[in-house]
Amino acid sequence: MSEQHVREEFDRWAAAGRGESMARGHRDVTEQAFDRVDFTAADRVLDVGCGIGWAAALTRELGAGRAYGVDLSPAMVERGGSRMVAGSATALPFRDGAFTKLVSVESIYYYGDLDAALREIRRVAANGARFVCVIDLYADNPGAHTWVEALDVDVHLLSAAQYSERFKAAGFAQVETHQIVDRRPMDTEDAFEPSRWFPTYADYRTYRELGALLIDAVA
């Protein structure tokens, strides 16, 4: 699938307000992931696949000096701040070694050429920079597998071990993987409403119990 198709789809998501809904839905696990990182005033942070820029803003709340974002969707970027730019993860518009911390929330599985994107992220990471990546759709959480058919774009469905190998091949070291469970109350079965994302309560419950994948790597 072409980047143009993905860009157009996420432009539609932006118009529908899904940038804001994703910020609400993914904030708790992202806060838990970012709590592992010591953001400082000296940091230059890059949020890859930033959407409306909410995760970049969160790093600033946690002490990061400067935070930038890049996203394939111009419509998403327009809803972000002045340091958000439209661009591809496979051709980041930044110099080598520009960032001391890098984050990515719920975007990496959309990259058509994942290996090229990881190499490019490594290129703009300073030596010793930390890269924290949060992923809800991954092979080890079968509760989310229904998303593959529900989404209108192609996605990767990789395991924690497969992601770890891809990160290492791109030049990252000290790659760790963890699962993070959303601390918000889980819907009861009586309150659950089926959707294309979770056709059954069993899907939803599995997804919530297994949680998101955190990849924590050092450049």
Q: How many residues does the chain have?
A: 219
**pTM given for the model:** 0.94
- Categorize the per-residue pLDDT at 2 as very low, low, confident or very high, splitting at 50, 70 and 90: confident
Shortest CA distance to 132 belongs to which of 64, 83, 186, 207?
Answer: 64
What mean pLDDT value characterizes the chain? 93
Could you tell me how far CA 197 lies from the centroid of its own chain? 18
Give the pLDDT score at 208. Answer: 97
Q: What is the mean pLDDT of residues 156-162?
A: 98
Interval 187-210: pLDDT, tens: 999 999 999 999 999 999 999 999
Q: What is the mean pLDDT of residues 158-171?
A: 98
Q: Given the DSSP bridges, would you call strands 66-71 and 84-86 parallel, antiparallel or unpaired?
A: parallel
Helix intervals (H) in the chain = 3-15, 18-34, 54-61, 74-78, 114-124, 147-150, 160-169, 201-210
Task: Flag whether pLDDT at 83 surpasses 90.
Answer: no
Q: What is the mean pLDDT of residues 135-147?
A: 97
**3-218: CATH number:** 3.40.50.150
Q: What is the mean pLDDT of residues 163-192?
A: 97
Greatest CA span in the chain, whole angstroms?
52
| CA–CA dist 18, 29 (Å, integer) | 18
Interval 29-74: pLDDT, tens: 999 999 999 999 999 999 999 998 999 999 999 999 999 999 999 9
Task: Flag whether pLDDT at 11 surpasses 80.
Answer: no
Interval 95-123: pLDDT, tens: 999 999 999 999 999 999 999 999 999 99
Give the pLDDT score at 17. Answer: 77
Give the pLDDT score at 167. Answer: 98
- Categorize the per-residue pLDDT at 16 as very low, low, confident or very high, splitting at 50, 70 and 90: confident
Give the pLDDT score at 1. Answer: 55
